[in-house]
Amino acid sequence: MSSRDAILAAVRAHRPTLDRPEPPVPMFDADPPPDLLAAFGRTLEKMGGKLLQPGASDPLAPVRDMLRDAKVVCSNVAEVSGNHALLPDMVPASLADVDYGVVRAAFAVAETGSVCLTEAELGVNTLGYLPQHLVVLLDPADIVPNIHHAYRRPEFRTAHYAVFQTGPSATADIEGVLIHGAQGVRSLSVLPLARS
């Protein structure tokens, strides 16, 4: 037995066997916003994102308008078709030429204006970062008030990859010049649309 194995065996043998439950964590939801979608939209726009309004006769009209002149569209949702195939075994960098990526959020957080994307929503993780623009479909029923509720969602126990995306990529220098799209998508638009 190596020294390393002997040390680890000694640690395991002398580890206390206490049954201590996790401490309760408050949800900080004593005063939730009355309209989660409106609160989410306000915060999203503060972070540089855009909340789209569904069309009256065609809820997807704002997305169709955005995609009309796009050369390369990669979609991982049934509601919007793309012309760039999304395959599970593709090289992630092959999405570098995508103009618009279209995904559906697992859920959103009103407090931060964030959408949660997992490997299930993205298909290929770089779909959330390499396209020039990202369009996210969001079921308003999937908006939680704050991060405390977000971390209770099952995605954090079942997904291998989960990320909160809040607005487009941004960076600022010491003089306060803000640039969007420096290391990721240049724009992030969210369309409230119930799951079918």
pLDDT interval class at 150 (50, 70, 90): very high
pLDDT in tens, 11-28: 999 988 888 888 888 888
What's the pLDDT tens digit per position in 129-139?
A: 999 999 999 99
- DSSP letters of 17-36? ----PPPP-----SS--S-H
pLDDT of residue 184: 85
Q: Is 62 exposed, middle or buried (0-12, 13-18, 19+ CB in 10 A)?
A: middle
Of residues 51 and 196, more confidently modeled: 51
| Mean pLDDT along residues 118-124 | 95
1 vs 36 pLDDT, higher one: 36
pLDDT at 143: 98
Radius of gyration over every alpha carbon of the chain, rounded to an integer in angstroms: 21
Structure tokens at 65: 């308008």
Question: CATH assignment of 32-192, given 3.40.50.170, 3.40.50.10420, 3.40.190.10, 3.40.50.300?
Answer: 3.40.50.10420
165-174 tens-digit pLDDT: 998 888 888 8
Q: What is the mean pLDDT of residues 110-132?
A: 96
Supply the pLDDT for residue 128: 94
Q: Is the pLDDT of residue 118 over 90?
A: yes
Task: Report residue 171: phi and psi, to 5°.
Answer: -150, 150
Domain locations along the chain: 32-192
Instruction: List Cβ<8 Å contacts ≥24 apart for 16-25.
Output: 25/148
**Which residue carries 């290929």 as its tokens?**
124
27: how many CB neighbours lie within 10 A of its CB? Answer: 13
Q: State yes or no: pLDDT of 100 exceeds 90.
A: yes
| Ramachandran area for residue 114 (φ above 0: left; ψ -120 to 50: alpha; else beta) | beta
